[in-house]
Structure formats: structure tokens, C-alpha cells
Amino acid sequence: MNEISCTLLVIGAGPGGYVCAIRAGQLGVDTVIVDRDRPGGTCLNVGCIPSKALIHAAEEYGKAVDWAAGRSPLGVSVSAPKLDLGRTVRWKDHIVGRLSNGVAGLLKKAGVKSVQGRARFRDGKTVEVETETGPLVVRAARIVIATGSAPVELPSLPFGGPVISSTEALALTGLPATLAVVGGGYIGLELGTAFARMGAKVTIVETAERILPLYDAELTRPVAKRLKELGVTVMTGAAAKGLSATGDALVVAAADGERRIAAARVLVTVGRKPVTEGFGLEEIDLDRAGRFIHVDDQCRTSMRGVYAIGDVTGEPMLAHRAMAQGEMVAEIVAGRRRRWDKRAIPAVCFTDPEIVSAGLSPDEARAAGREVRVGQFPFAANGRAMTKLAEDGFVRVVARADNDLVLGIQAVGHGVSELSAAFGLALEMGARLEDVAGTIHAHPTQGEAFQEAALKALGHPLHI
């Protein structure tokens, strides 16, 4: 049996794992990374990147449909558009391939040894990897667990046949005439909206009383309005019970009784779970926080020399959180002093319109005992939004009433995901309302709404 030794072994080549390995390699740490699939993990291969490609394709096709129907105030008209979903998927796969190959190249450039195979712990210092050429034993002074997460399967709707997860949804080469989406969170709404814009008849089934229940209601109203415009049926306070006997409909328990929803495909998006099985974690018996691996502010587990990062450590399950943790752990292993002390991790929902939330909402700040100032500026008063036919939505700033320290920033609107960096920067640097209001924002941009929201909170907005 072949054996190798290293200073750092990273298990999982998703966003957290590959960033950790690259940074460790840059710092001169002898690093090995193991994954059974190609670099990039769920996010790059079957999650963030391919879903955004599909969403963009759907937006472009939706525009063409509107133009063909004479619904363009811009004066643009086209003949009847057609969608070749197979070609769209090939374009999406090309992007994924380029990025995955890019990650592999970055790992090589940093001097990281990549091993493809399934890793399994023998003990806290030793991992056995099943590779195509046979077992490989890796002995490491430090180990990072970055195994990510996987879609949650419902007992009444096991994956297979017409019941699919987001992974299969992103690989469809034919548009389903009818699609039932179980789960009204961000994954279900992102993909459901995309398929609706492509021409599918979409029904969303959510057990809570409204869609996107983890976001405050004011942010979700423009999204609900747009779903209605797209012809998407939204059933809230309803639970999916399973497929009909014929397999072509979803049976739903609603307030008015049991209903059958026509569905050529049923997309289940009820959350994700940490991938902790199949890696021999029982051999090292780490402390858990519910389903997740418990870590401290340096991402150390309960076993000396073993770290965990990303989705396997809990919420929020976001790629950029995993990346930040991976970079931090790499620097700790290299001997630098670091700890996890983030004021805010922006969350983005790529719906139509998009939602961004960083820090505390007004209700969360008040629940924490804060007296707050809230400033909100509508995109209907923003010149750039008008020129983009994107007047729905707003930017909102939440600050302490006593010293104007910014506690949270939220936005809903077309393209607001690109404002997330500015929101996160303001919170990380401890900005006050005066700092945001006093920063010169380029005109005309949607970012001006951030400045105007701060001015509104201070009591002297200029453009409303």
C-alpha cells in the first residue's frame, strides 16, 4: 500500500477546501488535497456557478419573449424566440469546466498535491484514500475537514424518476412543461423563477406562511409580486405529501384540503445537510453541534490538529463563508495569528429581483435591545434603476440611534447582488451613517441608493 506524508491534508476540494489548500501552499506549507470529484465542489460544479448561468440564460430568453410580444418600452422587437435548453446546458458546462480547470491550475501553481479518491479516517493523523490505482495512506500533522453539504431528501419524495434535486435540475436538457418546486427558500425560488421564465408552468409549495421565510417580509414582497407576474403559482401553508399514483402529479395538503399539482418534474429544495457520513468520522469521535461538527473561533474541532470549515460546521451555508474560514485556517497552520470574528457575512438570494442582507434587520436589532434609526430609499427614485427598467425594490440601512453605527444593510432589486461587497465592507470597518452618507457615490449608479438610505436615516435625504 502506497503512503505519503504532509504537513496539511485537506479533505474536500470545494470553495473552502481549495482556498485553504491554495493559501497554505502559498505560505510554504506542504499540502495535500483529496476529493473524489473534480475541484470546485458543489458550488462550482452543481450549485452556485451553474445555477447563475441558468438564471442568466432564463433572463435573456424572458426578455426576448417580452420583446416578441411587443412588451418592450425600449422599442425593441424581435421574431418569436426559441430556446434550445440542451445548448444552454452545454454553455453552462463549459463555464463550469473552465473554472474547475482553473482551480486545478491554481492548486498546482501553489505546490499542492491533488489526490482524486474517497478519503476515510483511520485516526486523527491518518487517512486512507481509495483511488483508481488502489489505496493510498496519507499521514498528516494537520487535517482540515471540508466535506460540504448535500440536498435533503424527503421520505415521501425520495430522489429518482420525476423527483429531482437541484443537481439534476441544472442538468436537464429538456424543459418540463410543468414543474412543482417543494420548498420556497432561495434555491427553490432561484431555479423555479428561471424555469418559469423559460416557459415552464411552475408551482411552488412552501410549508411556512410566506416564501423566503428566513428573510424579513418587506424584502420578499417584490419577489412575490414578480412571481405572480411570471405566472408562478405559490402555495404557502401547504405540505407536499408525495407523488400521485400515476406519478405525474404532486399531492399537496393545503388549508382547503388535498390538492393535485400537475408536475412532469418535482424539484425538492427543502434544505441541505452536512456531509459527515462515509469518511470514518466515527474513528475520531468529534464533538457535534446538532448535525454539524462543532468548531471554535479558529475552526478547531475537539481533536487536536483537526479543523473543520464550511457547510459541515453549520449555518450560514455559504461558499464565501467557507472560503474565508479556509484562508484563516491555512494561515493558522502556517503559524500566523488569526481567529474568526466576522461582523457580517452577506447573504444573497438570486431571485427576480435579487435580495441582499448583511448584518441585522430592523426587527433583529430591536430584539437585541437596540434603539435604531432606519433609512430606506426606493429604486423608483434612482435614475440608473429607471434606465434599466428596474424600479422595484429599495436599499435599507439600520443603525444605532445613539451613535449612528451601522448594524445592518438590506436591499431588494435588480442586480443588487453587486452591492453586497459595499455592504459587507461598511459593516466590517465599523462605518457610521455619516461615513456612508459622506462617501461620494458615482452617478448614475444603483449604489447611490445606499448613500441616500444613509441620508434618509440621518433625516436629510436629497432625492426623496
Write down the H helix ranges in 149-262.
166-169, 186-198, 217-229
Q: Are 221 and 140 in contact (CB under 8 A)?
A: no
What is the gyration radius of the CA atoms in the chain, in angstroms? 24
> How far apart are alpha carbons 180 and 268 in whole angstroms?
8
Pairing of strands 201-206, 233-236: parallel
Angle of CA points 59, 62, 66, to nearest 5°: 140
Cell numbers 496539511 correspond to what residue?
8
Sign, Cα dihedral of 365, 367, 371, 374 = positive
C-alpha grid cell, residue 154: 424527503
* Grid cell locating 254: 393545503
**Catalytic residue IDs:** 443
Q: Where are the beta strands (DSSP E) in 12-54?
A: 31-35
389 phi and psi, to 5 degrees? 55, 45
Closest alpha carbon to 348 in 52, 99, 93, 89: 52
Contact status, residue 412 vs residue 355, Cβ threshold 8 Å: yes
Sign of torsion over alpha carbons 130, 135, 138, 139: positive
